[in-house]
Amino acid sequence: MCDIANTKNALMKYFHRHLMGVMGNGPTTSKSYVSDAKQYIAYYSQEVDEALTNFEISKSSIQKYVAYLRELGKAESTIERQVHGLIAFWDFLHSQGLASESIPYKKLNLNIKPVINPTQPLSKQDDKRFMKGLFDELETIW
């Protein structure tokens, strides 16, 4: 646990520099990870410790955050991406001596399953048009 109440803005700037410089992340990924960290801090301030004097990232706090995101109706793929951003933030905090060592994503036991949107079959009419176009094209080749 650490007190980030007075340093969160500076911490976010340093986290962004760390992602870009030390970790070699691109600007889009770095911006997303900083946004993920800010959202987690806002959640933590609202739901756990308003003063942010006992701020922490842990397996159980991430699991609770994932449950919160699900309650908000966030897509599983969005949640998964945000968790990766939080792990990057956790790694950063650890490198600064502000958090315990992070654990790999798989060991968080989050059971996140992105929704797969299967391809819809063609209607009979669209299928006939497709096949006619295909056969017409094949006739020009043969």
pTM: 0.72
| Cβ within 8 Å of residue 139, ≥6 positions away | none
**Averaged pLDDT, 28-36:** 95
Which position has the token pair 């295909």?
A: 134
Residue type, 17: R
Sorted by where each begins, the domain ranges of the chain are 8-115
How far apart are alpha carbons 13 and 70 in whole angstroms? 28
**Cα dist from 61 to 34, 67, 76, 83, whole Å:** 18, 10, 18, 11
pLDDT in tens, 54-99: 788 889 999 999 999 999 999 998 999 999 999 999 999 899 888 8
Domain 8-115 has what CATH class?
mainly alpha
Q: Is the pLDDT of residue 119 over 80?
A: no
- pLDDT at residue number 5: 57
